[in-house]
Amino acid sequence: MPASSPGGRTSRAAASPRAAGRTVSATGGRTVAVPGAAKAPAKKAAQVAAKAPASRTTAQPPARTAPAARATVNKATPKAPVPKKAPAAKAPAAKKAPAAKARVAKKAPAGTIPSSLARGQAAGVGPTGRVTPTFPEPKRLRKHGPARILAVCNQKGGVGKTTSTINLGAALAEYGRKVLLVDFDPQGALSVGLGINPLALEQTVHNLLMEPGVRAEDILLTTDVPGLDLLPANIDLSAAEVQLVNEVAREQTLARALATVSDDYDVILVDCQPSLGLLTINALTAAHGVIIPSECEFFALRGVALLIQTIEKIRERLNPGLELEGILATMYDSRTLHGREVLARVVEAFGDKVFHTVINRTVRFPETTVAGEPITTYASSSGGAHAYRELAKELLAR
């Protein structure tokens, strides 16, 4: 309690906090002890006692909560959604794959011959959409000549000119005709197709055209096919087209060269180069008819239309007796819609001028080129050999 002075007033020194723990002189010479000094240690002890447990209790909870956090991590790991979703994503893909394969399997038969076309073939209707006649077997001839000269021509390359010249000539020779093949292409493909190396030749068609003293008999070569002969050519023939420019009646040069041997053969087939240059004009001027091989493809169809215009000009100006012998569809694949459509358009445009015989696409023809012989001897029983024999009978029946 605060010290009271005489008269009942409380001493200010005792009431002041600064006097705690000290002695104060009161009136009357008495010394009064201030009790605040005893309370201060008690407060500090109480604060220390209060803080010490608090610090300990606050430091312990992290140790207790740590296991709880670890427990939650361990529990969350097996519940991860990734392993469960992965099989669910693969399951739809596995189910859709058979459906896609099933659709492909249904479309695969589209590459085969359509049922309508198969029924037409059973009824005697050929690939040209017309009833295929039965051509008679050609009769053997007692004498040969004079020859009918046919130019195998198309300014578009790769349509089967050389292949048709070789195999048609070999098929005609099988039926007893004497056939002369004329290689009129500087590439010399006709000579190579019959097993002859053009680069090893000393005289070719170039010498026949440009050298007055050279006759067809001087460069004539016999082949392994009986009744089939060849006038070969090589790259030298390309110079003849330039040299003939200054010649008089240059368009009739080949006709004059073949005149000496035409009586010894029944058919002369001239394999033309893929252009409408002077060499091709020579072949059309010397020929009685033109065979146009045409691949069953759109660009080849355009080439036929341009060639028909050239034939009409040759007929008007140089060779009035020139005729369109026929258009031969080659590399035909009945499984493709485009091939059938192109062939149908050719028949629609040229009618009976299109041969009934159609040459199908087959790997046998490239093989015969490597072998250096016609397909009629290389693969005698193949479909290609049968097709060219039918073409030979159809050509002789016209």
Distance of alpha carbon 6 from alpha carbon 14, whole angstroms: 14
Give phi and psi for 194, each to the nearest 5.
-105, 15
Q: Is 136 among the domain residues?
A: no
Residue 103 counted as domain residue: no
- Length reported for the chain: 398
Q: Is the residue at 97 inside a domain? A: no
Which DSSP state fits 131? B
Q: How many domains does the chain have?
A: 1
**Domain for residue 32, yes or no?**
no
pLDDT in tens, the chain (398 residues): 444 444 444 444 444 444 444 444 444 445 444 444 444 444 554 454 445 444 444 444 444 544 444 444 444 444 555 555 555 555 455 455 455 444 444 444 544 555 555 555 556 789 999 998 999 999 989 899 899 999 999 988 889 999 999 999 999 999 999 999 999 999 999 999 999 998 899 999 999 999 989 999 999 999 999 999 999 999 999 999 899 988 888 999 999 999 999 999 999 999 999 988 999 999 999 999 999 999 988 888 888 888 999 999 999 999 999 999 999 999 999 999 999 999 999 999 999 999 999 999 999 999 998 999 999 999 999 999 999 999 999 999 98
Domain assignment present for residue 6? The answer is: no
Q: What is the pLDDT of residue 32?
A: 46
Q: Is residue 252 part of a domain?
A: yes
List the domain range (segments joined by +) for residue 318.
142-397
If you search the block for the tokens 């169809």, which residue do you land on?
A: 301
Domain membership of residue 130 (yes or no) is no
**Looking at the domain assignment, is residue 176 inside a domain?**
yes
Q: What are residue 14's phi and psi, to 5 degrees?
A: -75, -30
What is the domain-level CATH number for residue 291? 3.40.50.300
The closest alpha carbon to 241, from 314, 289, 309, 185, belongs to 185
